[in-house]
Structure formats: structure tokens, C-alpha cells
Amino acid sequence: MTSLSPDQIIRQEILALSAYHVPPAKDMIKLDAMENPYQLPSFLGEEITRITAGAHINRYPDPHAAALKETLRTSLSIPDGMEIMLGNGSDEIIQIIMLAAAKPGAKLLTVEPGFAMFKMIATFTNMEYVGIPLRPDFSLDLDMMLTAISHHQPAILFLAYPNNPSGNLFDEAALNKIIQISKGLVVIDEAYHPFAGKSFIEKLPNYPNLLVMRTLSKLGLAGLRLGFLVGRPSWLYHLEKLRLPYNVNVITQLMAEKIMQHYDTLQHQADIIKQTRTKLRIFLESLKGVEAYPSDANFILFRLNNASHVFKQLQQRRILVKNLDNSHPLLKNCLRVTVGTPEENDYFCNTLQDLIAEN
């Protein structure tokens, strides 16, 4: 018997996908992935070293991560009556939610341009994807959204708040309206909350169809992989069944618990990033032919002539940003830069200024 080949076994939608591309970053100034550029203060680094040295990595982790959840609950003021579900990054939580809802023909609705993983994971899980365009200034087109919601009746609606890759917070009243008229589940993805200051977490008690997702990745702990979902027990009870029991490892649980007891330290770093964001945007706006969009996140989207060419030239000078040119019609000639340290930002700004002068 000859066996079947991969393309006879693997689903057509998966064969058609291209894998999520992460460019090599060795020796690069990495301003492409919204990482926090700062290390933990040394007192915390030492405490963590001590804790992990004694960790029982011969044992499976606590499947409920009870201690960590308790720390999150107090440090992030989770409303009473709401549960927390932990994920190996919030990407895993997106996948759990979609897996749970992926009945044949069930739809996932989101905005475009938006977070790329929403569409990718819709494909993984066999959900029907619906992407509704934002306005050219990346604000939400409420009328178009309301029409699309009543027409498609999505099982799930995902919105990043602030949005990635545009960096803006959507209008709060518009989001309230969307949650109210949606019959399906609405998930607000607050990955950039530390830089925005606004949240839907305190509105959870008002809406039975709302869940709020957060992550520690953009806060300085991208390497730990910890995301979490907050919402009513009636939702999380079922989602928990799809969470693999040991998805958050021993080291992540111990480290995150300790670090979150010093949440003010991380928030302080985020505040510094917010201040440098303002400087970076003012500089970008001052460059001839550059349009920089307002940001409530730790990155800035900007538009300039010959973006793809400038992107390559930046790369040759060891600066890695994200090239969004050709990723969506509204992002023609757009690049996205993560706010780095003042030194990294200066090097980026000076290099960009030279390149624009040369081109």
C-alpha cells in the first residue's frame, strides 16, 4: 500500500496558509515586536533566580495556578464574581475561544487592519472569517459594524483595544453599542492596556456577552508566555475544558507570581515608554513626507514614501521594524515601529532621517 501524502491528509485551508514569519533578529535593534526594551530591576532579577533555583521542575505544574491567579486578581483589580483563565500567551486563549465556538458555519468578526492572529486562528479552527474595514484614519465605522453584525450574526467578535497595528483606542461609546447589539460573544483584547489606561474590565458586570483578555507580553514579560482571560464563570467554565491542563509551566507560574507582586515596577517602565512614545511621534511628524498616527500603545504606525524600500535600508543598518506595506489597502506605505529605549529611538530616528534625505 502506498501511504497518503501530506497534501492528501492535511486540510486545504492549512495547505494554503503561509507560516507566521518571524525575521531573524540576531545583532539587530529589535523594534518590530512590541517588546518592552527594559530588563527587570536587579532586586527582582535576584529574587527570581532564587525562586526558580528551588522550583520543582520534576513535577507537573499546578493545573489551576491558584497562587498566580490570586496575585493577578489583587494586582489588577479584577471585579468580584469574575473568573480568570490562564493561557500560554493570549494567542492560546484566542485559539481556545474559537475552538469552543467553531460550529459549522459559525462566524468570527473583527476589523481590518487588525491583529493578524485573529484571522490565522479562525482558519486553524475552521471558523468563517469576516473582516470589516476601519475608516482611513483607523477609527471604527460604527454604522458599517452594526450592519455587518446584524447581517452576519457572528458567534464571536474580537476587537483589540488599543488596536494593533494602528495603535489607537476605538471610541468607547461605539464599543458599548457594539456589545449591546451583539447576540454573540464579544472579546476585547487589551494587550496594550499598560500604555492606554482605559479598560473594559470594570464593565464586565454590565454585559453577559463580554470577555476581556490581557497579556503580560507587552509589559516586559514576552518570554514568559502568559496571557489571561477575565469573565463570567458561566463562560469560563466551558472554555476551561479546552485548556490543556499544564499549559502554564512551573517556571512561568513562579516568576509571574513574584513579578506581579511588584506590578508597580512594570507599570513604571510602561509609563517611561509612554513618555518616550510622545517624543518619538513628535520627531516622526517633523520629518518631511512622514505621517505618524496617534498611539495609545507601545508602538507607532507611520506612513512614508517608498516604505518597503526604506524598510530594507533600515534592516541593512541593523534596525528591525515591521513592514505593513502591501498587508492591507489601508496600510499602503506603512511601517510600524516599537518604542524602544531613548538610545534605540535616537538611532532609529537619525537613521530614518538620513535615509529620507538620501531617497
> Using the rule CB under 6 A, is 166 a contact of ligand PLP?
no
- Tell me the closest approach of the beta carbon of residue 88 to ligand PLP, in angstroms: 8
Binding-site member from 36, 71, 125, 164 for ligand PLP (CB under 6 A):
164
If the CB atoms of residues 34 and 120 are measured against ligand PLP, the closer one turns out to be 34
Binding-site member from 35, 83, 91, 344 for ligand PLP (CB under 6 A):
91
Q: What cell was used for 134? A: 476601519
On the CB side of 209, how many CA atoms lie within 13 Å of its CA? Answer: 17
Question: Of residues 202-221, which lie at the interface with ligand PLP (CB under 6 A)?
Answer: 215, 217
If the CB atoms of residues 248 and 280 are measured against ligand PLP, the closer one turns out to be 248
Question: Of residues 141-160, which lie at the interface with ligand PLP (CB under 6 A)?
Answer: 160
If the CB atoms of residues 15 and 242 are measured against ligand PLP, the closer one turns out to be 242
If the CB atoms of residues 182 and 252 are measured against ligand PLP, the closer one turns out to be 252
Spell out the residues 6+ positions from residue 11 whose beta carbon is closer than 8 angstroms to its own. Answer: 126
Closest C-alpha to 195, from 150, 160, 146, 148: 160
- Tell me the closest approach of the beta carbon of residue 89 to ligand PLP, in angstroms: 3
Q: How far apart are CA 66 and CA 72, in angstroms?
A: 10
Spell out the residues 6+ positions from residue 67 whose beta carbon is closer than 8 angstroms to its own. Answer: 253, 257
Q: What cell was used for 302? A: 507611520
To 10 degrees, what angle do helices 250-260 and 66-75 make? 30
Q: How far apart are CA 229 and CA 201, in angstroms?
A: 10
- Tell me the closest approach of the beta carbon of residue 263 to ligand PLP, in angstroms: 17
Number of residues that bind ligand PLP (CB under 6 A): 13
Name the segment binding ligand PLP (CB under 6 A); options: 9-17, 86-94, 139-147, 236-244. 86-94
Residue given cell 471585579 in the structure block:
79
Q: How far apart are CA 275 and CA 270, in angstroms?
A: 9
Spell out the residues 6+ positions from residue 262 whose beta carbon is closer than 8 angstroms to its own. Answer: 44
If the CB atoms of residues 34 and 259 are measured against ligand PLP, the closer one turns out to be 34
Q: How far apart are CA 177 and CA 243, in angstroms?
A: 31
Binding-site member from 32, 35, 83, 189 for ligand PLP (CB under 6 A):
189
- Tell me the closest approach of the beta carbon of residue 300 to ligand PLP, in angstroms: 14
Residues that bind ligand PLP (CB under 6 A): 34, 89-91, 115, 160, 164, 189, 191, 215, 217, 222, 227
